[in-house]
């Protein structure tokens, strides 16, 4: 059983938490959230903390951290948990600037992390892929657009092209 802590229980935090319930090999044991609805979302045996710093006292109780919090604090959390040898999954964007990425590379060798954001399991992607294969089409390039404006954010829209950090 892989025990994890999760920081952030906003829209995507709830999605990630609910998805984790479907994976028998993982268990979220600690959640950091100031969302008043968190008590009604997580299992009763999950420890709910108000600040991420409270995780310092129980670092030996989990092997990884899921960051589904505001991207402005990602770099601070990445530095802390990576320096404490924790596995990390970061909901995009992992960092907000090249400078932050360079800071990250100071504490962890790039060969030990993976950044990716793809729609490989999207129905539309699969349909296009099958059509190309069935019709033996040679591809020169693919362009895609998204028109769902989603929630208003206080950071660059380029975050959609960054990705989770493992």
CATH of the domain spanning 2-140+152-161: 3.40.50.720
Q: Residue length, the chain?
A: 166
Domain boundaries along the sequence of the chain: 2-140+152-161
> What is the structure's pLDDT at 149?
58
Residue 30's contacts (CB-CB under 8 Å, 6 or more residues apart) are 5, 6, 46, 47, 48, 49, 55, 58, 61, 62
> What is the structure's pLDDT at 117?
53
> What is the structure's pLDDT at 145?
59
> What is the structure's pLDDT at 166?
35
> What is the structure's pLDDT at 51?
97
> What is the structure's pLDDT at 137?
79
Phi and psi angles of residue 117, each rounded to the nearest 5 degrees, phi first? -150, 105
pLDDT by position in tens, the chain (length 166): 999 999 999 988 999 999 999 999 999 999 999 998 999 999 999 999 999 999 999 999 999 999 999 999 999 999 999 889 899 998 878 888 878 888 888 888 766 666 555 555 566 667 777 888 888 877 776 665 555 555 555 555 544 444 444 3
From 161, 151, 28, 33, select the one nearest 92 (Cα to Cα): 161
């Amino acid at each position: 059983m892989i025990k994890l802590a999760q920081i952030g229980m906003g829209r995507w935090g709830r999605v990630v938490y609910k998805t984790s319930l479907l994976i028998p090999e993982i268990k979220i044991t600690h959640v950091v959230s100031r969302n008043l609805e968190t008590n009604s979302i997580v299992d009763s045996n999950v420890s709910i903390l108000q600040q991420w710093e409270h995780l310092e006292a129980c670092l030996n109780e989990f092997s990884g951290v899921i960051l589904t919090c505001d991207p402005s604090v990602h770099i601070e959390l990445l530095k802390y948990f990576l320096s404490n040898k924790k596995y990390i999954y970061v909901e995009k964007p992992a960092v907000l600037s090249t400078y932050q990425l360079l800071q990250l590379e100071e504490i962890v060798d790039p060969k030990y992390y993976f950044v990716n954001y793809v729609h490989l399991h999207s129905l539309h992607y699969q349909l296009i892929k099958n059509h190309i294969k069935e019709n033996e089409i040679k591809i020169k390039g693919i362009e895609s657009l998204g028109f769902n404006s989603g929630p208003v954010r206080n950071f660059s829209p380029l975050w959609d092209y960054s990705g989770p950090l493992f």
